[in-house]
Structure 1
Amino acid sequence: MIPLPISLTLLGSALLLSNLTTAEPTPGPPPITQLLAESNATSNTVASLLPPTLDPWYRAPTTYDWAATEPGTVLKIRRAPQLIAAPVPLIPNALAAYHLLYRSTDSRYNPSWAVTTLFVPRSQAPPLLSYQLPYDTCNPNASPSFALALSSLTGDPYGDITSALSLGWLVAVPDYEGPLASYSAGVQAGHATLDGVRAVLAVGEGLGLGLGGMEKTKVALWGYSGGALASEWAAELSVQYAPKLGESLAGVALGGLTPNVTSVTGYLNRKKGAGLIPQGLLGMASQHPEAYEWIVGRLKPGTGRERFLSVRGMTGAQAVRAFEYEDIYGYFVGGEGDLYVPVMKGMYDVDGYMGYHGVPGMPVFVYNAVNDELSDVRDVDALVERFCGVGANILYQRNWVGSHEEELVNGRGRAFRWLRSVLDGSYGELYGTMGCTVQNVTYNIMPWADKSTSGNDGE
């Protein structure tokens, strides 16, 4: 991916938020049928490949008071044919693709909006998978709705979207970081994920998808690493924020969890993934202006400050390459201590710690490498134990093989099997977990693996 210059990215971010105040608003949004008709009228036009900060479509409507609508209300729809166009579709197995811009709520419970990309399978069936990609960046122009259409990503980066479509599932891929690309802000991500599901269910009938509304459609959430962050926050926020989703949420699969943001920061500093620290700090602080001002003000002046802030124009992968093994604390006047003053602690308390905003009411599958180098597995153990102590239903597999990156692949098949069971109704028969089950396993499927230990379970 080729990032925009920082000045252009910041200008675009300002434009994205320039319509928070509208003049002479009309009573409310057009009905879904009208939005769909407008989308169909432009179905032969390839959607704009302008980045989100420069594409007017990514801004909330100005013709009515969108902020007064309910979370999950669809505000705009457009087709996204560039994702599935022949001769070599970026996302195979999809019959159609749409972008939905919908009303959401940010970390401070202010009205906001987000976008989800909906893929319709060729053999349509009611189940919906909300798949949260780990895009790990504070750059809005690296959001999935735009990035998936870039050939440099070859479409589906992990093949999971294509695999889910082949099973006849609808797949929604939300830009859960929102218009500010608030990477690592848990409440923002959870809200946007849940509202993305509500938006898809709202348009399902108009699109002829066979959805039966919130009461009848089975929905699963899945994410790994940064995608698991969004999925986990959605799971624990669902009871208080989206109670009407209720029984529709059949299950959530979480891999490579990062439950404690301050622990992750210490774990990553001077390591290969150190570039995720500035991305995460600036991303979360975009929801907390006082913390953002503190971070920028405490950066050492000169080229170091410019270098730190340059991540605002990078993808997550670019930041990892640019800052690998660096001491990120060294960019601050007060070193590590600058990240633990009251204004920063207040931000972390809102957006940085899993397990304090509610208890998942649906079955949960957690899979994690014991030797994960991105996040201490003891933090995952503690999160699972916390939820289990208050009645959650969790199957937790601790894989003694591989690292964070390797578990992405080692755990994929297990996640798919589990997700399939909660969506097709075979979960009780195949897993039968009530309460919590913790398994120590050794799953090896990668080329570097010792195949003598491939696929062995242990208790």
Structure 2
Amino acid sequence: MRTLILTVITLIASCTLWTVQPAHADDGSSGDPQFSTTPGDAAPSPLQKWIDGNIPLPQLPAPAPQQADGTDSALWKSVLPTPTGDPTFDSWPADLADLSPGQSIQTRDITATAAAMFNAPLARASLLKFRTTSSSGAPSFGTATLLVPGAAWPGPGPRPVDVDTMPINALGLPCTPGYTIAHGVRDNNGINVFLPSVAAALNKGQAVLIPDHEGPYMAYAEPVVAGHLTLDSIRAVRSQFPTEFRDSRYAVTGYSGGAIAAYATAMLQHEYAPDLGGSLAGAAIGGLVTDYGAVAHVFNGHSASGILLSVTLAMSREHPEMLRYMNHLAQWAAISPLKDICGEADGPLGAVGIPIDVATNIDHPLESDIAARIERLTSLTDRKSTVPLYIYHGDNDFWIPIDGPRQMYRRQCELGVSAEFRTVPGDHVSAMLNGANGATDWIDGRLRGAPAPDECPAMR
């Protein structure tokens, strides 16, 4: 197996020497695509023909009985994340369809392992499992971690909850905050970076709720999944602990991959969870992707190409219609251990600038009907946030152009949302650090019940 994976990666790297044609973004305004390679999608390029002519299809197990969303695709099942061995993260309850979104499935005390991970006294830590909804509307389940501090809440009202949608940015289930905290794993560097900020909130007397917002399929960057799951994690806390948290204020904060979840929570709350209208007080969002097509072109064939390939695989788990465009080479990679990598691995994967063209069976895949369809399904730009927004972005973010978040800010202002926009120094990584204090101060204000500042009137 190791020899096979090395061969696949070597082939991918060597293919980057081929010329990739320039591309332009598609606004997705055309009708629903027909899922075929003609006439809406280009035929395979010579390189793609060579790949499929020289690399055989992987042998996949026979399709199992239908599961979850009804599909019986052997390839789809083979690209799903490997089970962890922990039923909380692996097991699909048989009665999901009979449960309401946010309804509890299981609550597990994980105080013993969690207490050793945070530089803050914990009263208790709970791993929650609850019903949620997939992007297609099918019943699903989610997990989240609730941390209740030992410190008293000094502010007005009941103890508030800081909903921290961490940038999981991963394909494997053990990479999630829930698994990391429940099992006391200390080598998940992607999560460990954010533990000090969690401890800071706990020391202020705020409870912290950390959703595993990629869902059971680890659908990295799928906004509808992330928004539904985050909203249902709040529902689960309110219903499980009504005395403590039914009347609490909740505010959601996230950066980069976590910003997608925070953004989706604010945009989808009215239509998906109107019952939370009086509970959610605001959303702080940094390093946000709003235009998936534009960002895909920036990532493609450059240093962030590994992230684009990871996101594409993750999206196909939630949108299996994408799998028919995956060539033989990509199928080998997608069923290999690469399907379980954590966030700190998918960045280096693209160090040689792997273009997505070497993973598909149609030329110009970012211009294809299927790309336009996925862009439409993942766009939330037509929604109105139900809560005030704090938006920040690096002034030198060469991965995620600032134009998208800026346009989102202006659009939300036009719709009457109270919002602030902050440009902070740095690229995508350093802007996270440089913007953290402003976002934290803004969240603290919302959790205390202070009115949100509004910088929009000058634009109206």
TM-score after normalising by structure 1: 0.76
8 Å CA contact 1:370–1:377 kept in 2: the answer is yes
Kindly state the Cα deviation for residue 360 of structure 1 after the two structures are TM-superposed.
Answer: 0.9
- Deviations 1:94-116 (Å, cap 9, x if unpaired)? 22111100100010111111100
Give the count of matched residue pairs.
377
What is the correspondence of 1:235-250 to structure 2 with a 5 Å cutoff?
235-250=266-281
1:217 equivalent among 223, 239, 248: 248
8 Å CA contact 2:165–2:261 kept in 1: the answer is yes
> Which residue is 2:221 aligned to?
184
Q: CA 1:434/1:398 → structure 2, altered by over 3 Å: closer, same or farther? A: closer
Three-state SS of the structure 2 residue aligned to 1:137 is coil
> Which residue is 2:292 aligned to?
261
Distance 2:401 2:458 in 1: 20
1:343 counterpart = 2:367: no
Distance 1:344 1:115 in 2: 29
1:134 equivalent among 147, 154, 167: 167
Three-state SS of the structure 1 residue aligned to 2:318 is coil
Distance 1:424 1:333 in 2: 50
Distance 2:435 2:239 in 1: 32
> Which residue is 2:381 aligned to?
355
8 Å CA contact 2:223–2:264 kept in 1: the answer is yes
Three-state SS of the structure 2 residue aligned to 1:151 is coil
1:354 corresponds to which letter in structure 2? L
8 Å CA contact 2:221–2:311 kept in 1: the answer is yes
Fraction of identical pairs, as percent: 25
Kindly state the Cα deviation for residue 308 of structure 1 after the two structures are TM-superposed.
Answer: 6.0
8 Å CA contact 1:354–1:383 kept in 2: the answer is no
Kindly state the Cα deviation for residue 66 of structure 1 after the two structures are TM-superposed.
Answer: 2.5
- Choose 158-167 or 145-154, whichever is displaced more: 145-154
- Choose 150-159 or 126-135, whichever is displaced more: 150-159
> Which residue is 1:83 aligned to?
113
Kindly state the Cα deviation for residue 272 of structure 1 after the two structures are TM-superposed.
Answer: 2.6
1:112 counterpart = 2:147: no
8 Å CA contact 1:19–1:60 kept in 2: the answer is no
> Which residue is 2:178 aligned to?
145
1:174 counterpart = 2:211: yes
Distance 1:309 1:265 in 2: 23
Give the gaps of 5 or more residues in structure 2. Answer: 6-59, 71-81, 154-158
1:68 counterpart = 2:121: no
Q: CA 1:20/1:305 → structure 2, altered by over 3 Å: closer, same or farther? A: closer
- Deviations 1:366-424 (Å, cap 9, x if unpaired)? 0111211221101111111121111111111122x211101111111111111111111
Kindly state the Cα deviation for residue 260 of structure 1 after the two structures are TM-superposed.
Answer: 1.0
1:163 counterpart = 2:188: no
Q: CA 1:436/1:337 → structure 2, altered by over 3 Å: closer, same or farther? A: farther
8 Å CA contact 1:177–1:185 kept in 2: the answer is yes
1:100 equivalent among 128, 146, 149: 128
8 Å CA contact 1:187–1:233 kept in 2: the answer is yes
> Which residue is 1:386 aligned to?
411
2:400 equivalent among 375, 379, 385: 375
8 Å CA contact 2:202–2:208 kept in 1: the answer is yes
Q: CA 1:390/1:380 → structure 2, altered by over 3 Å: closer, same or farther? A: same
- Deviations 1:115-160 (Å, cap 9, x if unpaired)? 0011111124420111001011232232221134311136642221
> Which residue is 1:403 aligned to?
427
Three-state SS of the structure 2 residue aligned to 1:257 is coil
Higher relative contact order (CA 8 A, sep 6+): 2
Distance 1:294 1:339 in 2: 15
Distance 2:318 2:348 in 1: 26
8 Å CA contact 1:396–1:437 kept in 2: the answer is no
2:199 corresponds to which letter in structure 1? T
Give the gaps of 5 or more residues in structure 1. Answer: 6-10, 22-50, 439-459
Give me the CA root mean square deviation: 2.6
> Which residue is 1:455 aligned to?
none
2:160 corresponds to which letter in structure 1? P
Distance 1:225 1:274 in 2: 16
TM-score after normalising by structure 2: 0.76
> Which residue is 1:332 aligned to?
359
Q: CA 1:333/1:106 → structure 2, altered by over 3 Å: closer, same or farther? A: closer
Distance 2:343 2:395 in 1: 23
Q: CA 1:261/1:93 → structure 2, altered by over 3 Å: closer, same or farther? A: farther
Distance 2:201 2:385 in 1: 23
Q: CA 1:325/1:269 → structure 2, altered by over 3 Å: closer, same or farther? A: farther
> Which residue is 1:306 aligned to?
332
Q: CA 1:270/1:109 → structure 2, altered by over 3 Å: closer, same or farther? A: same
1:271 counterpart = 2:297: no
